[in-house]
Amino acid sequence: MQTRYRYAFNRFMIGDRYLRIRDGWLFRKTTTVPYNRVQHVDTEQGPILRRFGLTTIAIHTAVGEHKIESLDTAEAERVTALIAERVAAAKEDL
């Protein structure tokens, strides 16, 4: 049930210069993370997520951690690689 909730009410958008994460159902929160502020990107998968083939992506900045939760593991790998590619390109532009 929680996974269906997360999928229905959590969205993310990968732009050219930033990543936007929208979270919440009743109280919505939108976070915009410029790629040049990202320090590193991790994936997390506990035993329950692993059982259902899901993964969470954690994007670390100096301010804190931002998460894209409960993605299909294959999709999470593609998204992580794309974010890492955009972060590297943003760091080269500096």
Under 8 Å between Cβ of 67 and 58: yes
pTM for this model (two decimals)? 0.86
DSSP class of 52: T
Question: Could you tell me which residue, 64 or 8, shows the higher pLDDT?
Answer: 64
**By C-alpha distance, which of 77, 83, 82, 79 is closest to 60?**
83
Categorize the per-residue pLDDT at 24 as very low, low, confident or very high, splitting at 50, 70 and 90. confident
CA-CA distance, 10 to 4, in Å (whole number)?
10
3 pLDDT above the threshold of 80: no
The H or E element containing residue 91 is helix 73-93
Domains and CATH numbers, the chain: 2-93 (2.30.29.30)
CA-CA distance, 56 to 33, in Å (whole number)?
17
Partners of residue 32 on adjacent β-strands: 20
